[in-house]
Every structure is written in structure tokens, then in C-alpha cells.
Amino acid sequence: MYSMKPLNSACIILLLFFSACTAPLYVAVPVDYTAKLNLRPDSTTIVLINQFDINQAKITNKKKLDVIKAGAVAAINYAGLEFRSLPHVKVINLIDTTAFTVNADSIKLIAQKYNAHYVLALKNFTADIGLSDIANYTSYYNTNTAVDFVFFEGNGIYHRDLKGNAVDAQSEQPYFGLLPTLLIHPTVKGNKQSIKTSAEHATENALQDYFPYTITHNRPLYNDAIFLPAIKEIQSGNLNKADSLLTPFLQDKNPQIASKAAYNLAVVYESEGDIDSALDLAQQSSDKYRNEYATAILADLKEE
């Protein structure tokens, strides 16, 4: 017969540790950001011009040259579309989409001629399609684009460099085997539409500081049994009720319980858009019992 031996203290501690470790639940927390940069508060006119000399790219293949030009035009046009979406903004597009000539006129004179407050100039545009991964004998590619704008004030003196880039999964997939990767692969000249779409994404990246945007954080929650009623309310969107259920635990004598409650409450406040309170509770969580959840949310909250 086998005899049962008493567990030593180390085994008991390990059992207690693993029994207390439960997998976290996650909640999606959308955070709305206001624009970092603002235009004039009243009516604003922006002129779009091209100062990108495509001949400097030294592209000899006519099809590729046509695609690069199409991508550059798409970038400028999308910039106009974006700015038009802002209130009280008028956009005047001076781009010659056929010849795509460089506008060498004085910024100040252009602004005076069109009664414009700003002039947005495209300075450079690049695009390529590169290998991103090889897995299971299949090759995957990305469309990579970059834009370089300069946003001038009407006086032609003050300006801001606006650079953006985009990396988009290439639609021409799959390419099976190593030999096709080396000999047959997607090229810029054969992918005008994907280059244009990626150019728009790069432009959006370049102009992002002028527009509000939303980021969704997937926040883990401590889901100890005592917190489950509050978590249920969080998941149902009843944040006030979750607040009232979590707050008493902030005074718990066990610092780990108090820390976990403070962290969960920080997520509640972040969900409500109360960033100051979320920061305060996240700091309390870290102070009461240092943990990686509080460290991560503190870093994000300081950016919000």
C-alpha cells in the first residue's frame, strides 16, 4: 500500500500560489483623443501644391513611373479630403494630375493669390513592395509607402514638416515556394491600386496630429472571486455600479486585494474618460502592491 506523506511547507506555498493565480479577463476600453494641433478657429483656406520632382527619383521604367505619380497624386488628394472633413475648412487643389509639374512659386505669393491661410506642399513620395515573411513555403509581401509634406503658414516663413508612412499587407498572395519568391513576385509597376491605397494610409499617418482619433486598449482585469460582481457590471457597461462595488476594497487590510481593486477601478475610470482619476487609482495600485498591470496602464494614461 502507498502511504500519504504530509506536504512540506514549500509545497503548501506553491499550491496556495497557483490556486490564487487565475487567468485575467479582458475588457475593451476605447479612448478618444483630441487633435494635438489645431488650425484657425474660424474659416480656413488651405492650398495644396506639388513640390515633388518625380524626375529626381530616376525611375526609367515608364509603368513604374506612372504608378509612383499616381501614388503621389493620391496622397495629395487624400490630404485635401482629410482637411475638408474639418469644420470651416476650404481646400484649393492646384495639382496638375496630368503633367505633375513642380510648383516653384513663392509660398507667400500663392497664399496671397488665393487668400489662403496655409499651403500644404508635397515634397517627396516613395513606394516599394518588399518581402515580409516566408512561412510554410509561402511568401508574403508588404506594400510600403512614405510621404513627406511641408505645411506652411501663409507668410511662407513658419512651417511644420509632416512625414508619414504605411506598411500594408500585399493583396497578391500567396506565392508558393522559394523559386517564385526569387523570380516571380509583386512589383510596384503592377500594383497601382495597392500603392494608391497605401499612399492614403501614409498621408493619414502624416496628418494625424490635426485630427481626433480613438485607440482601444484591451485591459486585463483582476478576476478574483470577490471582484466578479464588479466585473459583471463592467462588462455590462454599468460603470457607476462597478465603481460602488470596487471602492470598499480600497481599504482592505490585504495590500494585494487593495492594489487589485485600485487597478480595476482605474480601468473603470479610464472607460468613463476620467483620466485624472484613472491615473490616481493606477498609482495607488502600484503603491499598495507593485504589479505589471498598473505599470502598463500608468504608462498609457500619462500619454492620454
DSSP string covering 96-116, please?
A: -TTT-----S-HHHHHHHTT-
Cα–Cα distance, 233 to 139 (Å, whole number): 46
Query: Cell digits for 160?
Result: 511644420
CA distances from 134 to 1, 49, 128, 130, 143 (A): 57, 41, 18, 12, 16
Q: What is the pLDDT of residues 90-111, one digit of tens each?
A: 999 999 988 899 999 999 999 9
104 exposed, middle or buried (CB, 10 Å; 0-12, 13-18, 19+)?
exposed
| Angle at alpha carbon of residue 248, lines to 243 and 251, rounded to 5° | 130
Cα–Cα distance, 72 to 91 (Å, whole number): 18
Model confidence at 13, in pLDDT bands (50, 70, 90)?
Answer: very low
Cα–Cα distance, 95 to 93 (Å, whole number): 6
pLDDT at position 184: 64
CA distances from 21 to 28, 222, 285, 288 (A): 22, 10, 18, 19
φ, ψ of residue 90 to 5 degrees: the values are -110, 135
Total length of the chain: 304
248 exposed, middle or buried (CB, 10 Å; 0-12, 13-18, 19+)?
exposed
Q: What is the pTM of this model?
A: 0.69
Q: What is the pLDDT of residues 59-70, one digit of tens each?
A: 889 999 999 999
For the segment(s) 44-128+144-168+187-212, the CATH number from 1.10.3470, 1.10.10, 1.20.81, 3.40.50 is: 3.40.50
Predicted confidence (pLDDT) at residue 4 exceeds the cutoff of 50: no
Q: What is the pLDDT of residues 221-233, one digit of tens each?
A: 999 999 999 999 9
For the segment(s) 222-303, the CATH number from 1.10.1370.40, 1.50.10.100, 3.40.50.2300, 1.25.40.10 is: 1.25.40.10
Cα–Cα distance, 185 to 173 (Å, whole number): 10
Residues 6+ apart with CB under 8 A from 262: 250, 281, 282, 284, 285, 288, 294
Query: Cell digits for 39?
Result: 488650425
Domain extent listing, the chain: 44-128+144-168+187-212, 222-303
